[in-house]
Amino acid sequence: MFELAATNSIARLTVLILVFGLVVIAAFVAMTLVSRRAAVRSELRQLTGDSLLHPGVGESLRSSNDTAWARLADAIEKAGLNLADTKSDKLRTKLIAAGFTSPSAPRVYTLVRLVLVFALPLGYVLLAYSGEEAPSFVKVYLIGSVVALLGLYFPNLYVTAKADRRREEIVNGFPDCLDLILVCVEAGLGIESAMDRVGREMVHSHPLVAELLSVTTLQLRAGASREDAFRRLADSAGVDEIRSFTTLLIQSDKLGTSISTTLRVYASEMRERRRMRAEEKAHRLPVIISIPLVVCMLPTMIGVLMLPAAVRMSREIIPLLAGG
């Protein structure tokens, strides 16, 4: 059979079609099983009542010390290696801005950097010496040093990029959240009940904002004062708009002014800021488009326009100049 498939093109094509069909069927069965398990998990989550909060809320409220990385960091610290950073407060703030709220997040961050510093050069050395011709020591040393530097700074770049994406999502979703809070407050709900209601309603549309509101509501129910809960909300969000919003709420609560009026004015300002950010991105778009236009399209256009003239010069003018 194998000889027939190797010599006959029709048999070879038939075998390839059968293999492709088997792979497609296996992939479809695997996707069906995965989707069925996901549906069962979502139903169980709804039955246990976890759907009232965003899943990230439960993860941030529960301690994450039982994760594998946290247990590994604890074991390494017990062995005598200190994973504490010299700028622990700044690192902690940065990790919270990226969404890593676990108390063991700074230690895990330091551990990941140490592992990458040693693992990436070691992997390169093994890959380099596994070939037929071994590279020189200077080349291995230079490339290994560069790879170690990449392993040292890659977690920092990852955390910074994730913090920027999280901040952007919060900024884009907060005006809608503010409008819903204003509607709830004008309907007669208190600020705590309004934040709880909006946090439950915005789980699917803006999950990060819903998580912040839900955590603040639980802190208020646990006995924290409004000032402390609102300041923690601003610190965990790391966004200037939410920090200004919490400052307004704290001042309104202290001075006894109308919260609905404060929310209405600030909601209007937030919508105006979002419109201005959209206009800024729209005005920046032509400048961004001009870069690929100049790099990719302009040389092609110049070549298309100049090619007929170049052909005519090579056929007529250059022979005349040469005396032909």
pLDDT tens digit sequence for 141-173: 888 888 888 888 888 888 888 888 888 888 888
Per-residue pLDDT, 62: 41
User: What confidence category does residue 58 fall into, taking pLDDT thresholds of 50, 70 and 90?
Assistant: very low
Sign of CA dihedral 220, 223, 224, 227: positive
The pLDDT of 7-26, averaged and rounded, is 69
User: What confidence category does residue 10 fall into, taking pLDDT thresholds of 50, 70 and 90?
Assistant: low
Residue 324 has pLDDT above 70, yes or no: no
CA distance 153 to 202: 35
Residue 4 has pLDDT above 60, yes or no: no
How many C-beta neighbours within 10 Å does residue 235 have? Answer: 14
Sign of CA dihedral 126, 127, 132, 137: negative
CA distance 195 to 247: 16
Q: Which residues contact 6 (CB under 8 A, 6 or more apart)?
A: 12
Phi, psi of 174 (to 5 degrees): -70, -35
Per-residue pLDDT, 173: 82
The Cβ-side half-sphere exposure at 229, using a 13 Å CA radius, reads: 20
Per-residue pLDDT, 13: 62
Decide: 249 and 226 in contact? Cβ < 8 Å: yes
The pLDDT of 34-53, averaged and rounded, is 59
First-to-last CA distance in the chain?
68
**Would you list the domain boundaries of the chain?**
2-47, 64-161, 169-277
Closest of 250, 280, 238, 260 to residue 178, by C-alpha:
260
Decide: 186 and 260 in contact? Cβ < 8 Å: yes
CA distance 193 to 195: 5
Q: Considering only 71-80, 159-168, 196-205, 284-293, which range has the smallest mean pLDDT?
A: 71-80
Q: Locate tokens 């510093």: which residue?
A: 117
Per-residue pLDDT, 83: 67
Q: Considering only 35-44, 216-225, 237-246, 261-270, which range has the smallest mean pLDDT?
A: 35-44
**Tokens representing residue 290 in the block:** 């001009």
3-state secondary structure the chain: CHHHHHHCHHHHHHHHHHHHHHHHHHHHHHHHHHHHHHHHHHHHHHHHCHHHCCHHHHHHHCCCCCCHHHHHHHHHHHHCCCCCCCCHHHHHHHHHHCCCCCCCHHHHHHHHHHHHHHHHHHHHHHHHHCCCCCCCHHHHHHHHHHHHHHHHHHHHHHHHHHHHHHHHHHHHHHHHHHHHHHHHHHCCCCHHHHHHHHHHHCCCCCHHHHHHHHHHHHHHHCCCCHHHHHHHHHHHHCCHHHHHHHHHHHHHHHHCCCHHHHHHHHHHHHHHHHHHHHHHHHHHHHHHHHHHHHHHHHHHHHHHHHHHHHHHHHHHHHHHHCCC
CATH topology of domain 169-277: Receptor-associated Protein (1.20.81)
Decide: 95 and 108 in contact? Cβ < 8 Å: no
- Name the most confidently modeled range: 18-27, 49-58, 174-183: 174-183
The pLDDT of 95-109, averaged and rounded, is 78
Decide: 111 and 91 in contact? Cβ < 8 Å: no
Residue 299 has pLDDT above 80, yes or no: yes
CA distance 172 to 164: 12
pLDDT 10s digits, 166-209 = 888 888 888 888 888 888 888 888 888 888 888 888 888 888 88
Residue 53 has pLDDT above 50, yes or no: no
